[in-house]
Amino acid sequence: MTRTAALERISRLPVDAQANVVCENNLKYMRRLDDESMQLIVTSPPYNIGKEYERRTSLDCYIEEQAACIAQAVRVLHPSGSICWQVGNHVDNGEVFPLDIILYDLFKNHGLRLRNRIVWTFGHGLHCSKRLSGRHETILWFTKTDDYVFNLDPIRVPSKYPNKKHFKGPNKGQLSSNPLGKNPSDVWEIPNVKNNHVEKADHPCQFPVGLVERLVLGLTNEGDSVLDPYVGVGSSAIAALKHDRSAYGCDLEKKYIDTAWERIHELRAGTLRTRPMNKPVYEPPTKGCAT
Ligand SMILES: C[S@@+](CC[C@H](N)C(=O)[O-])C[C@H]1O[C@@H](n2cnc3c(N)ncnc32)[C@H](O)[C@@H]1O
Residues in contact with 121: Cβ distance below 8 Å, sequence separation at least 6, in sequence order: 135, 136, 187, 188, 189
260: in domain:
yes
278: in domain:
no
Predicted pLDDT at 283: 75
Predicted pLDDT at 80: 98
Poorest-pLDDT segment among 5-19, 24-38, 55-69, 132-146: 5-19
Predicted pLDDT at 135: 96
CA 224 to centroid of chain Cα atoms: 16
Predicted pLDDT at 160: 85
Task: Tell me if 219 CB under 6 Å of ligand 1.
Answer: no
Predicted pLDDT at 61: 96
How far, in Å, from the CA of 86 to the mean position of ligand 1?
A: 12
Task: Tell me if 205 CB under 6 Å of ligand 1.
Answer: yes
206: in domain:
yes
Task: Tell me if 256 CB under 6 Å of ligand 1.
Answer: yes
Query: Does the pLDDT value for residue 289 go beyond 60?
Result: no
Query: Does the pLDDT value for residue 10 go beyond 80?
Result: no
pTM above the 0.95 mark?
Answer: no
Q: In this structure, are residues 272 and 238 in contact, taking their beta carbons and an 8 Å threshold? A: yes
In tens, the pLDDT along 233-286 reads: 999 999 999 999 999 999 999 999 999 999 999 999 999 999 999 898 987 776
Q: What percent of the chain has pLDDT over 90?
A: 80
Measured CA to CA, the distance from residue 44 to residue 207 in angstroms comes to 8
Query: Does the pLDDT value for residue 6 go beyond 90?
Result: no
Query: Does the pLDDT value for residue 221 go beyond 70?
Result: yes
Task: Give start and end residues of each alpha helix (H) in the chain.
Answer: 3-11, 26-31, 59-76, 99-108, 209-219, 235-242, 254-269
| Number of structural domains the chain divides into | 1
1: in domain:
no
Predicted pLDDT at 291: 44
List the one residue out of 184, 278, 284, 218 whose CA is nearest residue 42: 218
29: in domain:
yes
Cα 269 to Cα 199, 226, 242, distances in angstroms: 16, 21, 12
Ligand 1, atom nearest to 201 Cα: 9
289: in domain:
no
Q: Give me the domain span that covers residue 59.
A: 16-269
89: in domain:
yes
In tens, the pLDDT along 103-130 reads: 999 999 999 999 999 999 999 899 999 9
What is the average pLDDT across 217-232? 98
List the one residue out of 64, 44, 97 whose CA is nearest residue 205: 44
Task: Give me the CATH number covering residue 98.
Answer: 3.40.50.150
Query: Does the pLDDT value for residue 175 go beyond 60?
Result: yes
5: in domain:
no
Residues in contact with 119: Cβ distance below 8 Å, sequence separation at least 6, in sequence order: 136, 138, 186, 187, 188
What is the average pLDDT across 59-85? 98
SS3 53: coil
Per residue, what are the HEC states of 203-252? CCCCCCHHHHHHHHHHHCCCCCEEEECCCCCCHHHHHHHHCCCEEEEEEC
What is the average pLDDT across 23-32? 98
Q: In this structure, are residues 216 and 239 in contact, taking their beta carbons and an 8 Å threshold? A: yes
Rounded to 10 deg, the angle between the 99-108 and 59-76 helix axes is 50
Give nearest CA residue, ligand 1 atom 8. 206
Ligand 1, atom nearest to 47 Cα: 1
Give nearest CA residue, ligand 1 atom 4. 232
